[in-house]
Amino acid sequence: MQQLTQAEIEERLLTYIRKSLSGQEIEYSQPPVLYREGRRLRTYRFRLKNAPKEYARPLVMRLYTEDELPVRPQFESILLNSIYEQKFPVPNVRLVESSHSYLNAPFIIMDECLGDALFDINSLTQKPYMQAARFLVSGVGSIARDMAAVMKRLHMLKVDKLHEKLKQLKFPVELLSLNGRLYQLYKRVQSAKLTELEPGVIWLISHGPPETIKPSLCHGQLYPNNVRKQENTFTGVINWSMDSILLGDPAYDVGRTSAAFKCFVPDVSQTLRKLSQNVGHRFSRQFVQNYRKQRPVSEDKIKYFEMLWCIDLATSAAESMDKKHHAFKNEFEEAKVDLYQSTNFAIEYFKNTTGVTVSLPLLKR
């Protein structure tokens, strides 16, 4: 895809909005600003003026830069709106454009969720050490409770209508099962020729739990920076992706969030980094305990999905590698995560838990 300049994006997006809303008087009050960029997606914030009332608020555009599945924008709009209809706090999708006519790629426009992230490591870098340390230690309990509460609420949503709408889209719903996720992970490892990770994928395939009879909707990346809260109200769960959601066992979300806190290494000073890692393990324990108080879930399943997260993270790191410069693009950079060290920890955690040796020799500094 030929990448457009900022000026071209501004002009073409406004043309699309004016045509879609039949309003030639519509202008930007704040032009689109890129604030997140990944391998398949660029996300922009903007605001309009002289627009219909429902558009007179902060808006977000998700621009899908490349994909082997062109149904991604329709999929994510159906997903989000089916959740929104059940009064769960997610962005409301306003417009969907599946063609490449306007921005050389499909995109969706949706409301921006207001409020602050439950936890943002960026805020720690702006505090003196002692103040940051006190915040880390004292805030763990409340964040763990909040995460367990919002996750339980998500897992109670009905999925029947979503399933039917995806079938009408002719989307292969089986890709959203555990077997589908494992199949895609295996394909990714094969495609990237990551032979050192293959034993890990084989272990996951041979040790996977049976598919659950009553599947829940799982986010797959339900970390505190993806949960918004304003005062005492959850205002949004963001960053939904076709690559990570699951229609299956709730332990999938519990395990992935738990593993992330055990393995993610914040990209902060060495002193604060060591404290953050200790707090991460403490958060993981408290979060799992809080969730299991509200909804029973097997410890063995949680551990299995932690292992799935470890191999998934290592695969993503390898896929983002720029082999020419022997470096990789950190999709967690905005969240201040050291992807290099986090991936090494994930690989080590997998080996120590399963006894299976995996490695990623491409990850060198």
| Domain co-membership, 160 together with 180 | yes
Specify whether 215 is located in the same domain as 122: yes
Name the residue with higher pLDDT: 57 or 36: 57
The per-residue pLDDT for range 256-293, each reduced to its tens digit, is 999 999 998 877 777 777 777 777 888 999 999 999 99
Last residue of a domain, one of 111, 135, 165: 111
In this structure, what CATH number is given to the domain that contains residue 75? 3.30.200.20
Q: What is the mean pLDDT of residues 304-317?
A: 96
SS3 297: coil
Average pLDDT along the chain: 89
Same domain flag for 147 and 284: yes
Same domain, residue pair 59 and 195: no
Domain total for the chain? 2
Within a domain: residue 365? no
Final residue of a structural domain among 70, 89, 111: 111
With bands split at pLDDT 50, 70 and 90, how would you rate the model's confidence at 122?
A: low
CATH number at residue 137: 3.90.1200.10
Confidence check: pLDDT of 242 > 50 = yes
Same domain, yes or no: 228 and 326? yes
Backbone angles phi, psi at 97, to 5 degrees: -125, 110
Q: Say whether both 23 and 126 belong to one domain.
A: no
Does 189 map to a domain?
A: yes
Contacts with 362 (C-beta within 8 Å, 6 or more apart), sequence order: 318, 321, 323, 326
Place of tokens 């020419």: 324
272 shares a domain with 329: yes
Residue 362 lies in a domain: no
Under the banding of pLDDT at 50, 70 and 90, the label for residue 138 is: low
Shared domain check, 154 and 88: no
For 306, the token pair is 């932690």
22: left (phi over 0), alpha (psi -120 to 50) or beta: left
pLDDT by residue (tens digit) across 163-202? Answer: 999 999 999 999 999 999 999 999 999 999 999 999 999 9
**Is residue 364 included in any domain, yes or no?**
no
Annotate 9-40 with DSSP letters as a single string: HHHHHHHHHHHHHT-TT-EEEEEEEEEEE-SS
- Residue 360 in any domain: the answer is no
Residue 36 sits in which domain range?
A: 6-111
Query: Is residue 42 located within the same domain as residue 143?
Result: no
The model's pLDDT over 196-223, given as tens digits with 9 standing for 90+, comes to 999 999 999 999 999 999 999 999 999 9
Look at 88 and 125; give whichever has higher pLDDT.
88
Kindly state whether residue 1 falls inside one of the protein's structural domains.
no
End residue of a domain, out of 90, 111, 132: 111
Q: Which of 167, 155, 169 is nearest to 72 (CA)?
A: 169
Residues 44 and 174 in one domain: no
- Which of 45-59, 83-97, 119-133 bottoms out in mean pLDDT, i.e. has the lowest? 119-133
Q: Is residue 75 part of a domain?
A: yes
Closest C-alpha to 254, from 221, 312, 296, 302 = 302
pLDDT score, position 60: 97
The answer to whether position 361 is within a domain reads no
My answer on whether 43 and 156 are in the same domain is no
- 239 and 103 housed in the same domain: no
CA torsion angle 150 151 155 158 (round to 10): 30
pLDDT of 238: 95
